[in-house]
Structure 1
Amino acid sequence: MIPRQTDQDAGAAGGILLSRGRLRARLAADARDVAAAQALRGLAFFGPGGRADRDAHDDLCDHVLIEAAEEEAPVACFRCLWLPDGAALGRSYAARFYDLDRLSALDGPLLELGRFCVRPGLTDPDVLRIAWGAITALVDARAGRMLFGCVSFRGTDPAPYGDALARLGAHHAAPERRRIGVKAPEVVRLGPGPGDGRAAMKQMPPLLRTYLSMGGWVSDHAVVDREMNTLHVFTGVETAAIPPARARALRAIAS
C-alpha cells in the first residue's frame, strides 16, 4: 500500500488545502468524507439514482473535496496517489490500461490524479480554479516532478469527439521518449488530421484543456472503458515544462 501524505506535506487528513470566498478544498478526514466523494462520483459518472463509484484503488489514495459554504455535499472531488518515482508506476490506476514502460526511468515524486468530477449542471469556473490551486499546493509541498492520470470523455463512441481526438493526435501526442504503449484490449487511435481547433476545444473535457495549457501531452490512443462508459486518454504534464506564466498563475491561486 502506498503511504498517505503526511501532515507536513499538505495538511493533516481533513485539513484545508485552500480556501477562497465561499469555496474550500480539503483532504478527506474519514470514511464518511470518502463516501461523500464516492457518491458525487456516482452521480457524475452514472447519473441520478445510480450507484456510488468506488473501487479498490480508493484505499490507496488521498481524497480531496471541494466544498461550497452553502452546500452540505461536496461540489467537486478528486483522488490522488503519490508514487516515489517511475519504477512504482505499476501501482497506479493508469497502469491497468496503459503500458507505461517508457516512464519507468522518471525520478522524483509523481502524482496521479483520478476520478476528477464536478457536480452535474454546475458551471462555476471557480470550482475548477480552486481545484487546481489545491493540486498546485500538493505538488509544491512534495516537489512533484510529474502529474498524470486518465482523462475521460463521456461515452464510448468516439464519433462525437472526432475533432478533439484528431487534434490531440496531431498536436499533443507524447514525445517519443515518453510514448505510452497499448495495453487495453479495446482502443481508439488518435488522428489522423489536425481537426478543427475551435470544435476540438469544445469537445475536450475542461480538465484536459487545463492539462494542455500547462504543456501536457497524451497517449496516441484512447481506451474504451465500458465499465465506466468513457473513453479516456493517458495525460501527463512534467512540472519543469509548465510555462512560467502558467506556473505563476497557479501559485497565485494556491498562495
Structure 2
Amino acid sequence: MDALNKLLQHPIKPARPKLSVGLAQDKDAILEAQRLRYRVFAGEMGAKLPSRIPGVDEDIFDRWCDHLLVRDDNSGEVVGTYRILSPVNARRVGYYSEGEFDLTRLQHLRPRLVEIGRSCVHPDYRTGATIALLWQGLSQYMRDNGYDYLMGCASISMADGGHGAASLYHRLALGEKSCLSPLEYRVFPRCPLPLEALRQDVPAELPPLIKGYLRAGAWICGEPAWDPDFNTADLPILLSMARVDSRYAKHFMGSRD
C-alpha cells in the first residue's frame, strides 16, 4: 500500500513521443499513411472515400506522389502525413487541384510548382511539434529538388452548412488585411461555394493548417470550391518559397542555409 500511495501522490508522467520525419520508402509505409488518412477523413470528417481496401484512403494520385510521414519512433506508428506531387509527375497525371479549380493562370509556374495535399495528423498528436516536423520535411523536399512554389487545397469544414467557411473567406480575402494573391495568380472554382447564399459574418475559427500557411506568407488565390465528397470548402493556396518569412522558416521549417 505504501508503494501505491507514493505512486498516486507522484504519478509517473507519460514519456513525450519521440518524433521523426521522412519520405515513405516502401509500399508498406505508404499504406500506413493511407490508413491514417482514412481514419481522419472518413472516421472523423465523414468523407466518402471509395477504396479497394477497407479502411484505406487511396486514389489514382497516390502512386505518382511522394508521401511525407511523421512517425512516433517509440511505437513505430505513423502519426502525420502529407502527399507531395512533383512537377515532373504532375505532367503525367495532372494536379489534384485541377479537379476543383481552373489553374490556367498558374501555367507558367508548373515547372517549379509542387502540389501538397491529403494532410492529416493523428488526434493524439495534434501539437505544434508534429506540424513543425511536417513543415520541416516539406521545406527539405523543396530545397533538395530546387522547387519554388507550393500549391494546395486548404479545407474548411462545412458542418454548419458553409456559413463559417464563407465568413472566413470574407475575412481573409476581403478584410482589411487581405491575403488574396495578385490577379495574375488567381484561380477559379469549378464548383464554387455559393457565397451569396451564405452568411459571411459569423464567428469562425481559422483551421491551424491554414493559419500556418498564411503566417508563412501564402496567398489565397481565389474563391473557395465546394468538395461534396469531403463536405468541405477548399481554399486555393499558393506559397512562394521566396516569400517565407525568415523567422517563420527558422522556427517551423528548419534552417534554409
Task: Tell me, yes or no, whether TM beats 0.5.
Answer: yes
1:174 equivalent in alignment to 2:177 = no
Does structure 1 retain, via aligned residues, the 8 Å contact 2:87–2:110?
A: no
Shift of residue 109 of structure 1? Answer: 2.0
Deviations 1:199-223 (A, max 9, x none): 55xx222111111012111132211
User: Percent identity between the aligned chains?
Assistant: 25
Task: Determine the structure 1 residue equivalent to 2:113.
Answer: 110
Alpha carbons of structure 1 residues 213 and 190: separation in structure 2 relative to 1, 3 Å: farther
Q: Are residues 140 and 192 of structure 1, via their aligned partners in 2, closer, same or farther at CA, if it must alter by over 3 Å?
A: farther
Deviation at 1:253, TM superposition (A): 5.8
Q: Secondary structure at the match of 1:46?
A: helix
Could you say if the C-alpha distance between residues 64 and 251 of structure 1 is closer, same or farther in structure 2, counting changes exceeding 3 Å?
A: closer
1:48-87: CA deviations, max 9, x gaps?
69832111111110111101122332111111011059x9
Please say which of residues 121-130 and 42-51 is displaced more in the overlay. Answer: 42-51
In the alignment, what sits opposite 1:12? none
Q: Paired residue for 1:65? A: 69
> What secondary structure sits across from 1:80 in the alignment?
strand
Pairing of 1:1-255 with structure 2 (within 5 A): 22-47=18-43, 51-84=55-88, 88=91, 91-106=94-109, 108-155=111-158, 157-170=161-174, 171-184=178-191, 186-189=192-195, 200=204, 203-252=205-254
| Structure number, greater radius of gyration | 2
CA displacement, residues 20-51 of structure 1 (integer Å, 9 cap, x when unaligned): x8110121122111111111001111116983
Gaps of 5+ in 1: 1-20
Deviations 1:70-106 (A, max 9, x none): 2332111111011059x94981100111001011112
Alpha-carbon distance between aligned partners in 2 of 1:127 and 1:254, rounded to the nearest angstrom: 19
- The letter for the 2-side match of 1:206 is P
Gaps of 5+ in 2: 1-16, 47-53
Q: TM-score, normalised by structure 2?
A: 0.78
Query: 1:153-181 CA distances to partner (integer Å, 9 max, x unpaired)?
Result: 12362123344222122111221111112
Deviation larger for 46-55 or 207-216: 46-55
SS at match of 2:248: helix
- Do 2:21 and 2:69's aligned partners in 1 also have CA atoms closer than 8 Å? yes
TM-align CA RMSD: 3.1
Structure with the higher strand share, 1 or 2: 1
**Partner secondary structure for residue 115 of structure 1:** strand
Contact 1:79 1:116 in 2 (8 A): yes
Provide the C-alpha distance between the structure 2 equivalents of 1:245 and 1:190, rounded to a whole number of angstroms.
Answer: 38
